Structure 1
Amino acid sequence: MAIVPFELRGKSVYVAGHRGMVGSALLRRLAREDVRLVTVDRHEVDLCNQAAVFDWFAKMRPQVVFLAAAKVGGIAANATLRAEFIYDNLAIAANVIHAAHQSGAEKLMFLGSSCIYPKLAAQPLREDSMLTGPLEPTNEPYAIAKIAGIKMAEAYRSQYGSDFISVMPTNLYGPGDNYHPEYSHVVAALIRRFHEAKVAGAKTVAVWGTGTPRREFLHADDMADACVHLMKTYSGAELINIGTGEDITIADFAGMVADIIGYRGEITFDTARPDGTPQKLLDVSRLERLGWRATISLEDGLKRAYEAFLAGAPVPAQ
C-alpha cells in the first residue's frame, strides 16, 4: 500500500547501476540518510540475466530500489548500437521491476530519460506528452525501452498496488560521466574535446551539428537529491520530470565549456553530424509543486565536472 511521506530511515536500499554517473550520485546522496545501502557488481549479477536477478533479489530482499542501471550513450552510440540499446534496457527494466515485485520491495523508482518524449512535442515537455507523436529516430530503441519500463512500473502499480514510481531526468552530467571520444553525451564530449584542444594548442574545435538545438542540463548531484526527495514525498502513476526548467543552445553551451576549460581557439560546427531533437526542455512545474528545485548552476556544475575529469582522466601529451 502506498504511503506518503515514505520513511527511508532504517531501510535496506538497493541502487541498481551504482558504478555509473547516476548511480554513484545516488550513493553519495543516500550516504546522508540513515539507510543500509545494498549494491552488487555487474560481474556478480548481470541485470540482463533473469535467473541471476531473481535469485539475488530472493536472497537480499531490498526494501527500496532505485533502478538507475541502463546502457547509455550519446547520439552516436544510440544511432549505431541500436540492438544493444533496446535489448539491454528492456531486459534490465523487466528483470529488476518483476524481481522487486516478487521479493516484496516496499518502493521502487524507475529512472527514465527525456528522450521518451516525441521529437516535435510542444515545449516545455509535459509528462502527459509521452506517446503523443513519433520519437527522435537516432535514439528510438533506447526511448522505447524506457517507455516500456515506465509502463511496466505503472502496470504493477495498477494490478498489484505496488508503490512503483517513474521519474524523467533531463540531460545529466557530472562525476563519473563517460568520456568516450565517440559514444559520450554532449557535456562529456565537449569537456574532453576542449581540454585536449587546449593541451595540444589546437586552433579550432569542431562541435557536432549546427549549434542551434537547445538543451537543458542538470548536475547528477542535483538529480540524486531530487530522486531521494521524490522517493520520500511522491507516490503516483504519473511521471515526474526532473530538470532545471532552463535550456541553452548548443553553440552557447560550447562557448561556456570552452571558457571554463580555458580554450581560446575558434569553435566551428560540423553540420554533417546530426543535431538530434531541436529542443528538449522539461516542464518541471509538477516537481516544483512537490517542493524541489535545482540548486547547482550550470556554470558551477561544469566547473565541478571539469575538476572531476582532471582528477580521473589522463592528460594527453603535448
Structure 2
Amino acid sequence: MKKKVLITGGHGMLGTLIRGKLKDRKWAGEVLAPTSAECDLRDQSATHALFRAAKPAIVIHCAGNVGGIGYAKDHPGDFFYDNLMVGINALHASHEVGVEKFVGIGSVCAYPEFAPIPLKEETLWDGYPQEVNAPYGIAKKAMLVAGQTYREQYGFHAIHLLLVNLYGPGDKFDPVRSHVIAALIRKFSEAVEKNEAAVTLWGDGTPTREFLFAGDAAEAIVLATERYDEPGPVNIGSGQEISIKDLAALIARETGYKGKIVWDTSKPNGQPRRCLDTTKAKEKFGFIATVPLQEGIKQTVAWYREHHATKR
C-alpha cells in the first residue's frame, strides 16, 4: 500500500530534491509540499488543521528559518523561536493525527563548540554550541528531545538526522541569507564580472567545515525514512573536512577569479572545526555520500551562471 508523504519546506533546495527521490520509490504515494503561505507552521492551530486535513502517513520536516553566519548573528531570537515552534508544532501535530513516522531534520549546529573531531552522535550533549549557532542548534535539539520523549511515552516513531551544511544547484544565493558555498560562488562570480582586484571574506580562513551535496542529503533522508527507526540521532555528511581558506581558493578557481582574497579578522570565524563521523549512517541504513566536493561545486557554479549571473 502506497503511503502519503508530507514534506515541510518541500519547495526549498532539499525538499524539492526529496520530492524527486520519492517519485522513484514504489512505496511513496501522494507527496504533499504545502508552502509557508498555505500554512505558517509557527501557528499551532494552523499546523494541526493542515495535518488533520492531509492525513499523511509520513512527515519529513525540512522547514526552518535558516541563513549564514551573518544573518544568524543578527537574528538570534528569530532563529530560536521560529525553528523551535515549527519543529515542535510539526512533530506534535504528527502525533495527534496518527502519523506513522516523523523524520526530523536537525543540524550540525547543535554540537558543542569544542567537541572532539570527528563529531560523534554520543558527544551531542557534552557542551554548549558555538554562540552564533546556539539559538538554531538548541531549537533543533529540542525537536530531537521531543521525538525521543514521544517515542518513550506514546510509542511514536520519530527519528532525527544531523545534517552538515548543504549546497548544490537550486541553493539560495541571497547575499544576506546564503550559506558559505553559495555566498562565495556569488561573491567571486560578481568579482569576475566587475573585474575587481580583491574580495574580502569574513574571519581568517582557518575554521574547517564539512559540506554535503544536496542530492546526497536527499538520498540519505529517504534511506533513513525507509530503514531507520531508533531514538538516537544520526549524522549525515560526507566525512570530508576542508578549511574555509582552501574552500575559497577552490571556488575562486571554479569561478575564474584570479584576484586577491582579503580576510577580515574583525568578523567572526564561527565554530573552529566541523567534521562528522558518518559511520552510523552507513551501518544503520547504508548511506555513503557519492558526490565529491569539487564536482559538486562545479555543478553549482554552472547552475548559478545559468540562473543568476549577470548577463553581459
TM-score by length of 2: 0.96
Q: What is the Cα deviation at residue 308 of structure 1?
A: 2.0
Q: Which deviations, in whole Å up to 9, do the C-alpha atoms of 1:274-302 show, x marking residues without a partner?
A: 10011010110111213210000101111
In the alignment, what sits opposite 2:3? 11
CA distance in 2, matches of 1:308, 1:53: 34
Is 1:302 aligned with 2:297? yes
Equivalences for residues 171-210 of structure 1 within 5 A: 171-210=165-204
Secondary structure of 2:132's aligned partner: helix
Secondary structure of 1:201's aligned partner: coil
Pick from 263, 279, 282: which aligns with 1:288?
A: 282
Task: Work out whether residues 196 and 316 of structure 1, in 8 Å CA contact, stay in contact via their aligned partners in 2.
Answer: no
The answer to which of 267-276 and 308-317 deviates more is 308-317
Q: Which deviations, in whole Å up to 9, do the C-alpha atoms of 1:196-253 show, x marking residues without a partner?
A: 0011111111121111111101011000001111111111011000001111011111
CA distance in 1, matches of 2:82, 2:170: 20
The answer to which of 179-188 and 251-260 deviates more is 179-188
Aligned residue pairs total 309
Is 1:135 aligned with 2:129? yes
Equivalences for residues 38-77 of structure 1 within 5 A: 38-77=32-71
CA distance in 1, matches of 2:38, 2:232: 34
Task: Work out whether residues 189 and 309 of structure 2, in 8 Å CA contact, stay in contact via their aligned partners in 1.
Answer: no
TM-score by length of 1: 0.94
Secondary structure of 2:212's aligned partner: strand
Task: Work out whether residues 11 and 33 of structure 2, in 8 Å CA contact, stay in contact via their aligned partners in 1.
Answer: no
Q: Which deviations, in whole Å up to 9, do the C-alpha atoms of 1:27-69 show, x marking residues without a partner?
A: 1222222322111121111111111110111111100110000
Q: What is the Cα deviation at residue 316 of structure 1?
A: 6.8
CA distance in 2, matches of 1:37, 1:95: 20
- Unmatched tracts of structure 1, length 5 or more: 1-8
Task: Work out whether residues 238 and 288 of structure 2, in 8 Å CA contact, stay in contact via their aligned partners in 1.
Answer: yes
**Corresponding letter in the other structure for 1:23:** G
Secondary structure of 2:262's aligned partner: strand
Secondary structure of 2:257's aligned partner: coil
Equivalences for residues 233-248 of structure 1 within 5 A: 233-248=227-242
Secondary structure of 1:58's aligned partner: helix
In the alignment, what sits opposite 1:115? 109
Secondary structure of 1:279's aligned partner: coil
CA distance in 2, matches of 1:63, 1:223: 22
Identity %: 38
In the alignment, what sits opposite 2:272? 278
CA distance in 1, matches of 2:193, 2:88: 45
Q: What is the Cα deviation at residue 19 of structure 1?
A: 1.5
Secondary structure of 1:112's aligned partner: strand
In the alignment, what sits opposite 2:12? 20
